[in-house]
Amino acid sequence: MVWRSNCQMNELANATSPYLRQHAGNPVHWKSWSPELIREAALLGKPVLVSIGYSTCHWCHVMAHESFENPDVAGIMNRHFINIKIDREERPDLDAYFMTAVQAIGISGGWPLHCFLDGEGRPFYGGTYFPPVERYGRPSWSQVLLATADAFQHRSSELAERARRIASLVDAQMLLSRHGTSVQGLPDWENLCRNIMELADRDEGGFGHQPRFPQASLLRLLMRLRSSGAQASLVHHACFTLERMIGGGIFDQLAGGFCRYAVDGNWNVPHFEKMLYDHAQIVESLALAWQHSGNSLFRWAADRSIHFFENEMRHPAGYYFAAMDADSNGEEGAYYTWRTREIDGLLGEWEKPFWEVYASSPLDAMHPDLRVLRLKLGSGGEMPSVENILALDESRQRLLEERSRRLRPQSDQKGIVAWNAMLVSAYFSWYRVSGEEAYSIAGKRLLHTLLEHAFHSNGKLCRYLYDARPVGLAFLEDYAFLIKACIECHQLDFDQHYLERAQMLFDETIRLFKMSGSGLLRSNAAEHGQLPGNVVEWTDGNYPSANAVCCWAARQLAALTGAQVFVDFQRGILREVNELALQHPLASASWIGELLADQIGNPVLKTAMARDAWDQLRSHPIPEVSVVGDPGGDRRMMICAQGVCHPPVVDLAEGSHIIDRLHILRNR
């Protein structure tokens, strides 16, 4: 049903966030997050309802249409609650806190996310999507609202105790790593690899069951691990997973770009939204896979994805948009799905060769005639050759031209600093493995955009750019990934400007996010306002833990500057997480890479010629190496590890015995 209302715009009409503005016309009296609203609710004797989502979220759209646009439902919400809308991409700290609270209640996380708070801002109940009427084994949204309002009025002491318990659980989860202890002796890498591969799906790639997420951090870890007897299987599984993703519907076979996840176990039917952070991480993973395997399929998929984002998701100022929606015309996947007869009619004489390379999967049981394109696997599960795929460029172009006539899904045009910095790193990864200047130029161009435009007039880093203007204040992840991009840029050609920017940003990071009594950094700063509790994220989520990225940055800066402060930071933060990271490897891939580097003595390659170093490292990779400029040096290179610098060499082949020794150290 489409609800018609003559209501005025609510407070969200003045928001910058596209997600908040989507709800500006709701009859719900939505407000933006503010700690003052918690105090206002306490004075009014009302609970607070926090509703969290993002602009390209399909189920957020569904619940908005079903419930938030319904005047009767809005009336219940307005009478009984102070209603707050939060864009999770704008406030990742709030999202992390309330997501942890909902999971502490025993409910699986997801979006839209809803939390009910007491007068102290503590969650006492929550959930995700609620239907307008009872179904899927869930109560209706109206039932939840009325039951919660009644409990708040008549069972306040019970809810207060419940809120205290939930707050304690959230704090324990957030600060879990404080209670970690150092591993005695060296990690058992062989056993770690075995544990990871026990969860691998060897038939379809990936890990676990449907829905199937890319888990790019874990794929990159598999390609970095070196374990005697296990190395080949780890790299093989990472490459196999990426092949299956490229062959499935999760990859846009016409325009390029990867969708957020597949709803099935075969990568064939995606949830169609495209996220910048997925794009950046998968493109970086494809670089490593291409380096390991030489498979041109990985290069083709990366270039197609880069082309898509360059053409469809780039602001004229030079940064990239956060996401593209899954929906158009109110239907998920309407832009991407086809009826077979449509394709045949468009291709004409190209129909037969097209279906020799491509196949299609039904969207779902309710729409068997709507198909999602994928690559056709051979009888032995083999992928089509890149040559055969390239031969169909004209066919794909015909289909793309037809698709362009459809209503295009909306893009969320926020240029999130952290996600754009991830893309800088992805470009630099492709430069390091290929030597092609185009990737270096693209990465530097984007980094320059961030360093020029992503700061407020007072010098503070913003959370995102919108219409090329800085908005909000940066979180730990924004600082962490931007520092990483600056360090990587410096290491390409030893430009001191980027090293100096990295050091300045790192100093600011410590000032803003350091917690007393812990080596870890919190996700938000005091200037973001008071929250019900601490927000400390040490595990990987949709992308690597910002704390782990800061650990990587400290290791690199220690090598580049020799400053003890970076050494101390790296050691302190690793002490906090090492045991837990090894116990939970699937959630800690970024930490395990840092533990590996620490075990082999944080190797350094000193050279005066950056280009020569990267050319050599393509043929003779050194695990976890920090490339350091030596201004007074010549064309020779020096490998240092565990406090020892070995005699300089012109060719890394001469130092193969040193590199072999580093690999042995990893396998102990």
Non-local (6+) Cβ contacts of 247 within 8 A are: 267, 374, 375, 377, 383
| 327-340 pLDDT tens trace | 998 899 999 999 99
Query: Which DSSP state fits 251?
Result: B
Confidence bin at 226 (pLDDT 50/70/90): low
Exposure letters 357-390 (e unless 16+ CB within 10 A, then b): bbbbbebeeeeeebbbbbbebeeeeebbeeeebe
CATH number listed for the domain at residues 11-174? 3.40.30.10
Domain residue limits, the chain: 11-174, 189-329+412-599, 336-405, 604-667
pTM higher than 0.75, yes or no? yes
- What pLDDT, on the 0 to 100 scale, is given for residue 2? 44
Residue 1, pLDDT > 60, answer: no
* Matching fold, domains 11-174 and 189-329+412-599: no
Helix (H, G, I), strand (E, B) or coil at 468: coil
- What pLDDT, on the 0 to 100 scale, is given for residue 371? 96
Non-local (6+) Cβ contacts of 26 within 8 A are: 7, 10, 64, 68, 69, 74
Confidence bin at 511 (pLDDT 50/70/90): very high
Percentage of the chain exceeding pLDDT 90: 77
How many Cβ atoms are within 10 Å of 108's Cβ, its own excluded?
Answer: 8
Residue 599, pLDDT > 90, answer: no
| 7-27 pLDDT tens trace | 589 999 999 999 999 999 999
Residue 229, pLDDT > 70, answer: no
| 251-285 pLDDT tens trace | 999 999 999 999 999 999 999 999 999 999 999 99
> Are the beta carbons of 12 and 32 closer than 8 angstroms?
yes
Query: Which DSSP state fits 517?
Result: T
CATH number listed for the domain at residues 189-329+412-599? 1.50.10.10
| 627-663 pLDDT tens trace | 999 887 788 899 998 888 999 998 888 777 777 766 6
Return the residue matching tokens 């009888």.
Answer: 379
